[in-house]
Structure 1
Amino acid sequence: MTCRAPAFIVGTFDVDNYGDLLFPLVAGHELGLHGIAVQPASPTSGVVAALSDAPRPISLADLLEGEVPGCGILIGGGNIIHTVDAVVLAEYVAAGASRWAYAGLWLGASLAGAMRDLPVIWNAPGVPFPFGGARRRALVASVLRSASRVSVRDPGSVGFLEATGFGPVPVVPDTVLGLARVWPRAPLLAAHRAILARHGFAPGTRTLAIHVRGRALDGSLPVAAAEPWPV
C-alpha cells in the first residue's frame, strides 16, 4: 500500500519530552517501509529547539482546516487520552492552549478525521484516568466507535475505555519499542565510543542511560544525579 499524502501522527511533539518525540520517528520508519510518509501534528506548531532532529509538527488548527493533505490520522502513542489541564507544560500555557491541549489530541484529531473523511487509528496510546460522568463516557464511546482501529498500551487503559461501554479494546506493545529498528545497535556504536572518550571513560565501558523529565524532579537534575540511589 502506498499513499501520496502523508499520514498524520498526533501527540505532544511540541513539548520538550524526549520520549514522546520518538513516536513520529518510529511511525515514520515503519510506514516508510510501505511508501507512506508521516506528518506530526500537535496542539501548537512549536519545535523543540534543543534537538536538531526534533519533529516539526503542524498545529491541530492546521489539521482541522485541512490545507495540509493527509491520508489518515494516528493518535499516539503517549499517555495522552485525557482532558486534564496541561498547566505544568510551559509551552501550552504560553500558547493559551493548556486547557484543551490534551483533549485536542484525541477529540480534536477524531473531529478532523470526521471532517476530512480520513481513517483514524488509535496507535497504542495510554489512558491515565477514568472518564467521569455519563455524558462524557457516552462521548468517548462515540469517538471510539468512529475510529477505524483502536488499541492501547496497557490493561489499565483498557479498563478506563471499556467502562464507557465500548469494547473489546486490544492491548499491543508500546510502539516506541520499535525504536531498535529505527536505530540499530551497530550504527550507534561509534557514537557511544565518542561519548565515552569525551567523558574520559575507557573504550568498552558499559553505560546505562536514564530518561528523566525535568519537571518531575524536586530540584535540579545535577542535584538528583548526585543522590545515592538504592539498587
Structure 2
Amino acid sequence: MVDLGLQSVDPRAAESPPKTCGIQAEEDLAEHLDERTWQVAIFGTFDVENYGDLLFPIIAEAELARRLGSVNLQRFSYHGKTPSEWPYAVTSLTELPAVAAGLDGVLIGGGFLIRFDKVVAHGYGPTTADIHHPTGYWLTPALIALQHAVPVMWNAPGMHCNSIPDWARPLLTMALEQSRYVRVRDALSRDTLGALSQQIEIEVLPDTAFGLPRLIDEQRPSAEFVRLREHAGLTGPYIVIHAIHVVESFVKLFEDHPEAFLGYQFLVVPIGPVLGDDPSVIAGRLPGSITLPFWPKPLLMAEILSQAQAVIGHSYHLAITALAFGVPVFCSADLTTGKYTALAGFDTLHALPNVATIDPQWFLARVGKTQPSPLARAAADQLVEHWDRVAEIIRQGKTASQPVLGAFLQHLPNLLEAAAETCDPVQVESPVSPVIPVPQINEPAQDLAARELAQQQRIIQLREQLARSDARMRELQNSNSFRMTAPLRSIARGIRNLTANKDRQC
C-alpha cells in the first residue's frame, strides 16, 4: 500500500528563515534567534475536520520558528489528539490551568472564533461541563493567560453575522483591553468589538492563510502531492469543486455543456467534513470526476488548491488559499455579508451566477491559474509584519495585566449579585433555539419538477438540522453548567441598571 499521508508542517518552511539580502541581514536574523525553546499556545477548534481551522497552528508554528528559533507550539482545543490520528498533536483544554503559568505567549485564533452560539458543529462541545461552550476555547484561555501575565495576541479571528450577548460584554471587554495585540480579519468584526471600549486598539489584518505561499513551494511539488496525482489519475489541468450542494449552478453547467470542458478534470473534495461536506452530493452527476479515498491533511489540501486552474465552492479558506496562489475562485457565498466582506475586493473572486444566466464562455474566460493579484500580495506582506510583531511581543515577556485583572475579579461578585437580582428566570432558563438560515436555491426556473424535488430535499435537511439543534439546546438547558452560569448571562443587565441610576443622579 502506498502511503498518501502528509507532513503537518512543511520542513522546508519551518526550517528555513525568510529570504534576506546580504550577509548583514543573515547576521541580524541570527542575533534574534534565541537558544531557548519558547513556550507558545494557540487556541481554536483544531480538533475538527475543517480545513481552515487546521491551518492556523501550522502557519503560526512555521512563522514563529523563522523568527524565534526553537518554538514549542501547544495547540489547545476541547479534545486532545495525537499525531498518529491527526495532522499534529492537540492538547485538551482541561490541561490549560496546569501549564498556563509557564507560557511565553498566547495566540487566539484565527477563524470564526468570536462567537457565543451553542451549535458550532453537530455534537461538538467540551469534554467536561466545567468548560463553557463555546467561549471555553477562545475567551476563557485569554483570561487565564492574563491572570498569569502571559502576553495575549489575537491572531486575526473574527465574527460572522453574530452579536455579543450582554452577559459576555464585561469579560470580553476585559480580555481585549488587557491583550497586548488585537487583530481581526474584517472591518465588521473590528467595529463590533471596538464598540465595547475606547481603550481597545483593534486593526484589521488579512487572514493568516494568505501567507501560505511562504510554506509551499509551487516550483517544487511535495512528494505527497506527486503521489496523489499519480494514484488519483490527476494527469491534466484540473478544477476543484467543493463537495457541497450550493454549487448546483456549476454542476448543471457542466452537465449541460460537457463538450466545453473536455480539457479539464474535475476533482471533488470535502473542505469541512465536520460541516457535512460529502463528495457523493456532486461526484455522481459528473461522469469522470475524481474523488479521493481519504481527506487530505492541511498542507496537502493547500497544495492541491494551489495547482488548480479554478476552484468552486462556499468555503472561506478554499477561497483564500486559491487567491493566495493566483487561482480564480467561483464562490457561492454572499460577499456582502459577514466575514465574506473581507474578500469582496479581489478581482479574481467571482460570485456564483444564477444558473439561468451562466454561460460556458463566461466561465472559461475566467479559468486559469496566474500570478497572485496585487491585493493578495499586499495581504501576504502585511502578514510578514504581523508575525514580526507577534515574535517581538513574545520576546518582551510578561505583561502588567495581573493587577487590572485582580481588580476585575474583586468586582465580579458585585456584577453577579446585581445580575442575579434583576434577571428574568424565564429568559435565562429558556434560550431560544437558533434560527437556521434557509440557503438560497439556484434552480432553473424552467425545470419545475427539479426545483420542487430540490426544495423537498432542502426542507428535509433543515428539519433534521433543526431537530439536532433543539436536542442540543435541551441537553444544555439540563446541564449543571448552564444552571450554574445563569447569572453570568445577565451581568450586563446589572451594569446597565447601575449606569442608568448614576445617569439619573447627574
- Normalised to the residue count of structure 1, the TM-score between the two structures is 0.82
Q: 1:71 is matched with which residue: 104, 116, 131?
A: 104
CA RMSD of aligned residues (A): 2.9
Q: 2:280 is matched with which residue: 206, 222, 229?
A: 222
Asked whether the 8 Å contact 2:158–2:184 carries over to 1, the reply is yes
Q: Give the Å deviation of 1:208.
A: 2.9
Alignment correspondent of 1:46: 81
Alignment correspondent of 2:150: 118
Deviations 1:21-63 (A, max 9, x none): 1111100000001215122111232358654xx2312222322
Paired with 2:70 and 2:119, the residues of 1 have a C-alpha distance of 32
Q: Give the Å deviation of 1:207.
A: 4.0
Amino acid at match of 1:214: P
SS at match of 1:9: strand
Q: Give the Å deviation of 1:14.
A: 1.4
Alignment correspondent of 2:186: 154
Alignment correspondent of 2:272: 213
Asked whether the 8 Å contact 2:101–2:148 carries over to 1, the reply is no
Paired with 2:97 and 2:122, the residues of 1 have a C-alpha distance of 23
Alignment correspondent of 1:188: 221
- Structure 2 vs 1, CA of residues 200 and 66 (structure 1 numbering), >3 Å: closer, same or farther? closer
Deviations 1:65-110 (A, max 9, x none): 22783211000011111222146343526x3469724201222111
Paired with 2:164 and 2:282, the residues of 1 have a C-alpha distance of 35
Q: 2:175 is matched with which residue: 139, 143, 149?
A: 143
Is 1:9 aligned to 2:42, yes or no?
A: yes
- Structure 2 vs 1, CA of residues 153 and 87 (structure 1 numbering), >3 Å: closer, same or farther? closer
Is 1:131 aligned to 2:164, yes or no?
A: yes
Q: 1:177 is matched with which residue: 210, 216, 221?
A: 210
Q: Which consecutive unaligned segments of at least 5 residues does structure 2 have?
A: 1-31, 243-269, 287-311, 313-354, 356-362, 364-506
- Structure 2 vs 1, CA of residues 151 and 223 (structure 1 numbering), >3 Å: closer, same or farther? same
- Normalised to the residue count of structure 2, the TM-score between the two structures is 0.40
Paired with 1:47 and 1:221, the residues of 2 have a C-alpha distance of 27
Deviations 1:108-159 (A, max 9, x none): 11122123221000010012221132x5323321110010100000112112
SS at match of 2:94: helix
Q: Give the Å deviation of 1:209.
A: 6.3
Say how many residue pairs are matched.
Answer: 225
Counterparts of 1:5-44 in structure 2, within 5 Å, are: 5-34=38-67, 35-37=69-71, 38-44=73-79
Alignment correspondent of 1:90: 123
Asked whether the 8 Å contact 1:87–1:98 carries over to 2, the reply is no
Paired with 2:149 and 2:284, the residues of 1 have a C-alpha distance of 53
Asked whether the 8 Å contact 1:14–1:45 carries over to 2, the reply is yes
Amino acid at match of 2:232: H
Paired with 2:280 and 2:38, the residues of 1 have a C-alpha distance of 44
- Structure 2 vs 1, CA of residues 163 and 132 (structure 1 numbering), >3 Å: closer, same or farther? farther
Asked whether the 8 Å contact 1:62–1:68 carries over to 2, the reply is no
Higher helix share: 2
Amino acid at match of 1:195: L
Paired with 1:98 and 1:183, the residues of 2 have a C-alpha distance of 40
Paired with 1:92 and 1:85, the residues of 2 have a C-alpha distance of 8
Alignment correspondent of 2:260: none
SS at match of 2:80: coil
Asked whether the 8 Å contact 2:51–2:271 carries over to 1, the reply is no
Paired with 1:29 and 1:122, the residues of 2 have a C-alpha distance of 17
Paired with 2:84 and 2:190, the residues of 1 have a C-alpha distance of 35
Alignment correspondent of 2:432: none
Paired with 1:120 and 1:198, the residues of 2 have a C-alpha distance of 44
Q: Give the Å deviation of 1:186.
A: 2.7
Alignment correspondent of 2:113: 80
Q: Give the Å deviation of 1:220.
A: 4.2
Alignment correspondent of 2:444: none
- Structure 2 vs 1, CA of residues 187 and 102 (structure 1 numbering), >3 Å: closer, same or farther? farther
- Structure 2 vs 1, CA of residues 149 and 178 (structure 1 numbering), >3 Å: closer, same or farther? same
SS at match of 1:164: coil
Q: Give the Å deviation of 1:162.
A: 1.6
